[in-house]
Chains A and B, each alone.
Chain A
Amino acid sequence: MPKSETEQELQAAERLRLELESEVGLPTPKGSSEEELAELAELAALGNLAQLAQRDWTLPESPRRRAEVISMAKADAAKKRGRLASLTLLRPMIGAFSAAAVLLLVLRVVEHPDDSEIGNLAPGAVSQTGSSSLPSKSESSDAVPSRDALFSREDLLRAQATSLARRAAGGKSEAEEVELAMAWRAYRGRLISELGRER
């Protein structure tokens, strides 16, 4: 007996739900409410979470319309990822800048071991994160390139977006919160450097 159109649409919506679930990496109980599916659809558009502010929280009642909205969100996500990919190509360059900045900091510490500004920032930053933190910008000509600041803020924004998405789905991930905290430590160091230059 052939399946009714409604049953087919429901199955299509369910398939999309499972696709979204694996794409976003968040569990969604079977028979999720329209609201939960809407949240998942928006989470799939990571990097374009402003859609969440523009769309309704609930999907249409019609399964076909529901599938359409989810597909649109995925298409938007793909578009956004295309733009992000071009930025990703720049990351090795940004990494190189960061390495150069760390080298300059080491040289500066060797030349001026009593510099209190570096002494206040670098040990504290290292002890907080257990990993290398961004060096403090100085008033000297050995200033860290501005692209380093953008890289730091981008990491923070990504970690923040991930944490936001998790909260929207109704939970928190300890690993993601730790990553957000580490991103804040790095960005905080950058802000403190700017603080020194704003005087």
Chain B
Amino acid sequence: MRRRVLCFALFGGLLLCGCARDDEPSSGGLEPAQVLSGADASVTDFKNSLLEAHAAADAAETEQMQVQAARSMESAFGMPVSTPAALELRQELAARAAAIWIELGRDAAAESLIQSGLELSSHPSAARAQLLMVQADLAEGRGRDELARASLMAALAINQQLFEQEIEEP
């Protein structure tokens, strides 16, 4: 009789301990689903920075706002995210920011950003073509007609290559 009571008590005690442990939080105070990988965090940060930068450029009305928008885009451009979509988005950031610098007369900043954007990826894309168009604008403004023409030709070639893909691969 006593043994049965003891067994029941022991069993009941073990049950209570197990239930209590289920209520304890997991290590670090976070549920597993809330823990983000480093890669996910960087893509999310890049997306948020990109959206903010483009929104700032769309809303820019004064020169100061344009400068801030261009700097935001440069900052987003510099984020090390290298997926195919991210590379094209980064090149487009560089193209748009460089166009703002050209408009503000800051040719050196534009040239540096264009070069960085072109070196980022040589893969033919609409963004790379856009960068070359901005390079042509910069060259034309500096009176470098040959470079302007070469940049336009390169942009045309990419644009046509992509366009033919669109037509031939419905």
Residues of A within 8 A of B (CB): 47-50, 52-53, 57, 83-84, 87, 90, 120-121, 124, 127-128, 147, 150, 153-154, 156-158, 160-161, 163-164, 167-168, 184-185, 187-188, 191-192, 194-196, 198-199
Of B27-35, B82-90, B106-114, the segment with at least 4 beta carbons within 8 Å of chain A is B82-90
Whole-angstrom distance between the Cβ of B141 and the nearest chain A Cβ? 12
On whether the beta carbons of A195 and B55 are closer than 8 Å, the reply is no
What residues on A are CB-neighbors of B55 within 8 Å?
124, 127-128
Known: A87-B170, A127-B55, A167-B136. 19 other contacts (CB 8 A): A47-B163, A50-B156, A50-B164, A53-B153, A53-B157, A53-B160, A124-B54, A128-B54, A150-B166, A154-B163, A154-B166, A157-B163, A161-B159, A164-B133, A164-B152, A164-B156, A167-B133, A192-B47, A195-B46
On whether the beta carbons of A120 and B133 are closer than 8 Å, the reply is no
What residues on A are CB-neighbors of B39 within 8 Å?
199
On whether the beta carbons of B88 and A49 are closer than 8 Å, the reply is no
On whether the beta carbons of B43 and A199 are closer than 8 Å, the reply is yes
What residues on A are CB-neighbors of B50 within 8 Å?
192
Evaluate whether A48 and B43 lie within 8 angstroms (CB atoms) in the complex, with A53-B153, A198-B83 already known.
no
Whole-angstrom distance between the Cβ of B16 and the nearest chain A Cβ? 38
How many A-B residue pairs have C-beta atoms within 8 angstroms? Tell me.
107
On whether the beta carbons of B92 and A49 are closer than 8 Å, the reply is no
What residues on A are CB-neighbors of B149 within 8 Å?
57
C-alpha spacing A145/B136, complex, angstroms: 36
Secondary structure of the A contact surface, majority rule: helix
C-alpha spacing A161/B133, complex, angstroms: 11
Whole-angstrom distance between the Cβ of B50 and the nearest chain A Cβ? 7
On whether the beta carbons of A49 and B160 are closer than 8 Å, the reply is yes
C-alpha spacing A187/B126, complex, angstroms: 10
Evaluate whether A120 and B156 lie within 8 angstroms (CB atoms) in the complex, with A150-B166, A160-B126, A195-B43 already known.
no
Smallest CB gap from A154: residue in B: B166
What residues on B are CB-neighbors of A50 within 8 Å?
156-157, 160-161, 164
Which B residues between 1 and 58 are near A, CB-CB below 8 angstroms?
A: 39-40, 43, 46-48, 50-51, 54-55, 58
On whether the beta carbons of B89 and A192 are closer than 8 Å, the reply is yes
C-alpha spacing A168/B140, complex, angstroms: 11
Whether B100 is near chain A, meaning CB under 8 Å from some CB there, is no
What residues on A are CB-neighbors of B40 within 8 Å?
199
Smallest CB gap from B84: residue in A: A198
Evaluate whether A188 and B157 lie within 8 angstroms (CB atoms) in the complex, with A163-B133, A164-B152, A195-B89 already known.
no
Smallest CB gap from A156: residue in B: B126
Whether B130 is near chain A, meaning CB under 8 Å from some CB there, is yes
